[in-house]
């Protein structure tokens, strides 16, 4: 029997390091990677993943790590959830691809029905609420939203926020306001995007009193793109009333409110869509990442009356692939039955543990976020945000068996799988605390 088919014992769900890091197999693979892969990737520490289970990742040398990243907020039901694996296996044995652009198949229809029913839009009298366009990624969901917003409104301008990350294709990149390296050398971008600071009433004052009164004719603005909690920008939570006010501005001028839930959505914050915490109803919602527990799938949900575009105006060969949709159907069921509730419960534990850490270490901020979308900032001795210190902590944690990711200027984000338990949260906090202690 080939080695990869031999049954393996289940992974321990806590770190178990058996070689120095990176181990010999990891080192050899990294050398091969360096010779052929695009240098544009941003690998922080030398993890070469081989197997995943729940919140555990085993590397190619048999070291087991506790994963607080979920592959950048993607494996919502944990790595290789048995029910997701079963659905993928069954669907791939039946039909792997047929293209939803030209043909019909049930897993996509079932998923669209569920998403349309759960979309955070008002129910119309005829019972309809939303229509769904499937994509392969977050960026593609944003492309679809940008195109639909322009098509439906017949307006060309859009507003987005500094610090926002919406993806790296041209439309999504033009909406992104995150880092110079993501733009430099790639211009010209899609015209018509104006960025304003995120999350504050002062910024919305500027939009209303200055921009919409001088250089942005409101009747030419198609949409405002906003993350309910800014993801790559630092897990920033907006000021109270901010999202409500974005809605009001949109209402006043016939502008569409597009909420990017690619990172915050699919149950991570304890509700299916983070915007539900504010009771604000957008016009368009974009999702991806956690929707299919790791298979590439995204979606753009719009109020049904907005989808006026005709056949052929927008489509994709792979979007809404049957195997990815089968994984997403099970993912949604798991989120609704148990995992969103677990995200709320474990999020509270994590938040209180990080609060204690902030009291213990001067150079650690209080946590911010919602559910299992939580971050802390790291400071230097003078109280300035300290990216190098953050990177060192993330590095030290790796060598202790804990996988973390940065975000924003100097933040560490915690976005584990929604199956995480209290013991794993405690171990993550302990390793984080040891890693910080070793540097202060
Ligand atoms: C809020 C948000 N939108 C869009 C994207 C882009 O998603 P993808 O990398 O799947 O294209 C991301 C990715 O991090 C994101 O966090």
Query: What would the pLDDT profile of 3-40 be if each residue is shown by its tens digit?
Result: 656 667 799 999 999 999 999 999 999 999 999 999 99
Please list, in sequence order, all residues whose beta carbon lies within 8 angstroms of the beta carbon of residue 5, skipping any fewer than 6 positions away.
none
CA of 298 to the centre of ligand 1 (A): 10
Pocket flag, ligand 1, residue 357 (CB < 6 Å): no
Pocket flag, ligand 1, residue 165 (CB < 6 Å): yes
Domain that holds residue 358: 3-36+55-80+339-437
Residues 258 and 382 occupy one common structural domain: no
Share of the chain above pLDDT 90, in %: 96
Pocket flag, ligand 1, residue 167 (CB < 6 Å): yes
CA of 262 to the centre of ligand 1 (A): 6
Two tokens, residue 28: 């050899």
Residues 297 and 349 occupy one common structural domain: no
- Inside any domain, residue 64: yes
318 part of the active site: no
Mean pLDDT of 115-123: 96
Of 291, 306, 335, the position where a domain reaches its end is: 335
Sign of CA dihedral 274, 276, 280, 286: positive
- Inside any domain, residue 94: yes
Counting DSSP H helices and E strands in the chain, the numbers are 13, 15
Residues 132 and 267 occupy one common structural domain: yes
Residue 440: pLDDT band with limits 50, 70, 90: confident
For 90, list phi and psi in degrees, rounded to 5.
Answer: -65, -45
289, 377, 398, 414: the catalytic one is 289
Atom 4 (ligand 1) nearest CA: 166
- Asked if 45 and 60 touch (Cβ cutoff 8 Å), the reply is no
Measured distance CA(27)–CA(29) in Å, rounded: 6
Measured distance CA(291)–CA(268) in Å, rounded: 10
Measured distance CA(47)–CA(33) in Å, rounded: 12
- Inside any domain, residue 313: yes
For 334, list phi and psi in degrees, rounded to 5.
Answer: -65, -40
Q: Look at residue 127 in the predicted model and tell me its pLDDT.
A: 80
Measured distance CA(258)–CA(193) in Å, rounded: 14
Of 320, 335, 350, the position where a domain reaches its end is: 335
Ligand 1: nearest atom to the Cα of 137: 10
Instruction: Read off the pLDDT of residues 126-158 as tens digits, 9 standing for 90 and up.
Output: 888 999 999 999 999 999 999 999 999 999 999
Mean pLDDT of 304-321: 97
- Ligand 1 pocket, mutate which of 274, 288, 411 (most atoms under 8 A from CB): 288
Measured distance CA(139)–CA(145) in Å, rounded: 10
Residues 75 and 112 occupy one common structural domain: no
What's the 3-state SS for 114-182? HHHHHCCCCCCCCCCCEEEEEECCHHHHHHHHHHHHHHHHCCCEEEEECCCCCCCCHHHHHHCCCCHHH
Stretch (H or E) spanning 403: strand 402-403
Share of the chain above pLDDT 70, in %: 98
Stretch (H or E) spanning 301: strand 298-303
Q: Look at residue 5 in the predicted model and tell me its pLDDT.
A: 60
Pocket flag, ligand 1, residue 260 (CB < 6 Å): yes
* Residue-by-residue DSSP string for 21-35: SS-HHHHHHHHHHHH
289 part of the active site: yes
Q: Look at residue 8 in the predicted model and tell me its pLDDT.
A: 73
pLDDT at 1 over 60: no
Report the residue count for the chain: 440
């Amino acid at each position: 029997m080939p080695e990869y088919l031999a049954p393996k014992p289940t992974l321990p769900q806590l770190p178990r390091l058996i070689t120095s890091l990176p181990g010999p197999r990891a080192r050899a693979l990294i050398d091969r990677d360096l010779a052929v892969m695009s240098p544009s990737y941003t690998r922080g520490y030398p993890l070469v993943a081989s197997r995943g289970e729940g919140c555990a990742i085993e590397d190619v040398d048999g070291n087991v790590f506790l994963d607080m990243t979920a592959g950048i907020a993607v494996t919502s039901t944990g790595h290789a959830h048995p029910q997701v694996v079963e659905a993928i296996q069954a669907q791939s044995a039946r039909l792997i691809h047929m293209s939803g652009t030209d043909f019909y198949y049930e897993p996509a229809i079932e998923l669209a029905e569920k998403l349309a029913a759960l979309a955070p839009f008002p129910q119309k009298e005829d019972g309809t609420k939303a229509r769904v366009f499937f994509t392969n990624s977050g960026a593609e969901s944003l492309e679809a939203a940008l195109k639909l917003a322009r098509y439906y409104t017949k307006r060309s301008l859009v507003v987005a926020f500094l610090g926002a990350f919406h993806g790296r294709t041209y439309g999504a990149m033009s909406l992104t306001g995150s880092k110079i390296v993501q733009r430099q050398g790639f211009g010209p971008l899609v015209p018509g995007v104006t960025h304003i600071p995120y999350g504050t009433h002062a910024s919305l004052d500027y939009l209303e009193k200055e921009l919409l009164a001088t250089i942005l004719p409101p009747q030419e603005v198609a949409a405002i793109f906003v993350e309910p909690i800014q993801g790559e920008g630092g897990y920033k939570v907006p000021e109270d009333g901010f999202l409500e006010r974005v809605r009001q501005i949109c209402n006043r001028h016939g502008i569409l409110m597009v909420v990017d839930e690619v990172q915050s959505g699919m149950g991570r914050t304890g509700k299916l869509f983070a915007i539900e915490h504010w009771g604000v109803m957008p016009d368009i919602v974009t999702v991806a990442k956690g929707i299919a527990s790791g298979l590439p799938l995204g979606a753009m949900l719009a109020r049904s009356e907005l989808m006026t575009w005709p056949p052929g105006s927008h489509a994709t060969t792979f979007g809404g692939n049957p195997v990815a949709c089968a994984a997403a159907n099970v993912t949604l069921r798991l989120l609704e039955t148990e995992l969103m509730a677990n995200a709320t419960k474990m999020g509270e534990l994590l938040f209180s543990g990080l609060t204690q850490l902030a009291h213990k270490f001067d150079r650690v901020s209080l946590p911010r976020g919602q559910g299992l979308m939580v971050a802390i900032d790291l400071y230097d001795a003078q109280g300035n945000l300290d990216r190098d210190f953050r990177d060192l902590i993330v590095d030290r944690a790796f060598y202790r068996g804990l996988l973390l990711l940065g975000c924003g200027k100097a933040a560490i984000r915690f976005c584990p799988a929604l199956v995480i338990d209290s013991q794993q949260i405690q171990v993550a906090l302990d390793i984080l605390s040891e890693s910080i202690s070793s540097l202060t």
